[in-house]
Chains A and B, each alone.
Chain A
């Protein structure tokens, strides 16, 4: 079966750096997405990786290793508004999106 694993919950301090990991086992691979979802709201797109390496977008970066079936989202200079769930999703060989359950990130002052 297809599976995406993310930690259920993480806690970090305002101003610090946090890394949210995602491992996947899917039927083929055609890209990996990270989305942010605040409580009670819809997911919003953060990043997309299809090739190995690091993609940087301001305070957020996303890394992919296809050989290891692994990605991480790196959040720098954490702000209270970064408290949210972070969803990892992989596009499989049929271009279907497989979603992880998300990592709830709690930011403390």
Chain B
């Protein structure tokens, strides 16, 4: 049973298009994260949020933006998609404590042609 939802599951889009990846969670978690992961590689943090109106940049934040207007919603926007953006994008959330595990959505697999 998924408590964190990502849409779309798969997306194929042309270079230069603006896209928004959606992420919603129903657990009331304050912390939310966006990660990028290529096959067989580690997760790279793109953006994160500690609560409403709080957003921070991760290691791969360039060319993308996020917003956190509501606790449950944390969309990621790529202003101008490039083939180098082809990857899997994972959204996650966690409770406030550092010992709390991340709960991941099923991911969006993005292909930019």
Interface residues of A (CB under 8 A from B): 4, 8, 30-31, 33, 35, 41-45, 48, 50, 85, 87, 91, 95-97, 99-102, 104
Interface residues contributed by chain B, number (CB under 8 Å) = 15
B40 touches A102 (CB 8 A): yes
Instruction: Sort A-B residue pairs by CB-CB distance and give the 4 closest, nearest first.
Output: A42-B104, A45-B101, A99-B42, A101-B42
Q: Contact: A91 with B104, CB < 8 Å?
A: no
CB-based contact B45/A97 at 8 Å: yes
- Assess the A42–B105 pair: CB atoms within 8 A: yes
Residue of B nearest to A8 (CB): B40
Q: Which residue of chain A lies nearest to B88 when distances are taken between CB atoms in the complex?
A: A40
Cβ-neighbour of A104 out of B40, B45, B99, B106 (below 8 A)? B40
| Contacting pair B43 A31 (CB below 8 A) | no
Residues of A near B12 (CB, < 8 A) are: none
Give every chain A residue within 8 A of B40 (Cβ-Cβ): 8, 85, 101-102, 104
Are A43 and B42 in contact (CB-based, < 8 A)? Answer: no
Q: How far is the CA of A41 from the CA of B41 in the complex (A)?
A: 14
Complex Cα distance, B99 from A29, in Å, reads 12
Contacts beyond the supplied A35-B102, A101-B41: 17 A-B pairs with Cβ under 8 Å: A4-B42, A31-B99, A33-B101, A41-B107, A42-B104, A42-B105, A42-B106, A43-B102, A44-B104, A45-B102, A45-B103, A50-B99, A87-B42, A87-B43, A99-B42, A99-B43, A104-B40
Q: Which of B90-111 contact A (CB under 8 A)?
A: 90, 98-99, 101-107
On whether the beta carbons of A31 and B98 are closer than 8 Å, the reply is yes
